[in-house]
């Protein structure tokens, strides 16, 4: 696919707006900010968090659904927010808050933008599930944190799609694909920083695209996890020289594991996908 070029004054204006940070990035909803801060405050009780969560029916339903997912098979069903939060824990709760927030930002109306966002969700959820499974085999990394990193690695797609549908006449799929490919990482990083994500996660949109990215640390980072998860996703690439990718070496993944990943970790992937469905 050819890179999008500013072939008209209209597109030149669009490119200039993005490059000069004039694109309006969505704010995180007030309730999401409130819950995130409550989760970081040791003085806030579990009941206070449950009360805040329960004020959003969509979020409450997602939490109960997650608590009854395959990840917790064998446990009794729950139908209340309190036991659901107790079961999934605060890390998973934080992830679900971000997931619901991202869903609320996905309200495109243009058919091309809607399809692009739908494809974005399919890709992001699969990368998140793979990231979760990869991190389970890294003792120094948290699988829930890795899942979140995978979920937001292409988050710049959302504001770009909404911006494009309002500012591009005759929007088509190739144009939108090129636009997000060119600017998605930069916009995604800025959005996560605006949302006060930890810097290690906020850098994921840019870092995961550099196959030779090296943090300088001996142990693998969340960026390394997402890089490999993105490459493992069947929709990403066809042919890969795995051992030229720095992250593969840091994760100590052998050729057999890479080739049989989906068969070897089928049950774990199913459970992670169900949480994100």
Which residue do the tokens 């699969």 mark? 126
Mean pLDDT of the chain: 87
pLDDT of 3 reads 46
d(CA 91, CA 135): 14
Backbone φ and ψ for 178, nearest 5 degrees, come out as -65, -40
Q: What CA–CA distance (Å, rounded) separates 47 from 190?
A: 33
Has residue 1 got a pLDDT over 50? no
pLDDT at res. 60: 93
pLDDT tens profile 147-186 = 999 999 999 999 999 888 888 778 888 888 888 888 899 9
Asked if 62 and 99 touch (Cβ cutoff 8 Å), the reply is yes
pLDDT at 2: 42
> Hunting for tokens 């030149």 — which residue is that?
12
Q: Report the pLDDT averaged over residues 207-232.
A: 85
Q: How confident is the model at residue 11 (pLDDT cuts 50, 70, 90)?
A: low
CATH no. of 107-277: 1.10.3210.10
Residues of the chain with CATH 1.10.3210.10: 107-277
Q: Pick from 99, 107, 187: which is nearest to 150 by CA?
A: 99
Mean pLDDT of the 91-103 span: 90
């Amino acid at each position: 696919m050819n890179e999008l070029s500013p072939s008209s004054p209209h597109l030149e204006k669009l490119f200039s707006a993005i490059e000069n940070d004039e694109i309006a990035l969505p704010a995180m909803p007030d309730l999401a900010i409130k819950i995130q801060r409550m989760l970081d405050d040791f003085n806030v009780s579990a009941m206070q968090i449950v009360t805040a969560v329960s004020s959003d029916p969509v979020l409450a339903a997602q939490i109960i659904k997650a608590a009854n997912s395959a990840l917790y098979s064998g446990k009794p069903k729950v139908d209340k927010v309190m036991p659901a939060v107790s079961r999934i824990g605060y890390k998973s709760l934080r992830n679900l808050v971000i997931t619901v927030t991202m869903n609320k930002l996905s309200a495109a109306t243009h058919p091309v933008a809607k399809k692009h966002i739908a494809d974005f969700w399919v890709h992001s959820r699969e990368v998140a599930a793979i990231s979760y499974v990869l991190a389970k085999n890294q003792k120094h990394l948290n699988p829930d944190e890795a899942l979140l990193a995978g979920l937001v690695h292409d988050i710049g797609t959302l504001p770009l799609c909404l911006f494009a549908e309002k500012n591009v006449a005759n929007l088509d799929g190739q144009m939108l694909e090129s636009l997000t490919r060119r600017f998605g990482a930069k916009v995604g990083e800025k959005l996560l920083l605006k949302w006060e994500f930890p810097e290690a996660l906020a850098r994921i949109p840019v870092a995961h695209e550099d196959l030779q990215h090296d943090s300088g640390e001996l142990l693998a980072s969340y960026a390394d996890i997402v890089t490999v998860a993105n490459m493992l996703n069947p929709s990403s690439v066809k042919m890969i020289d795995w051992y030229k990718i720095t992250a593969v070496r840091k994760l100590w993944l052998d050729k057999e594991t890479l080739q049989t990943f989906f068969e070897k970790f089928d049950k774990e992937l199913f459970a992670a996908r169900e949480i994100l469905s």
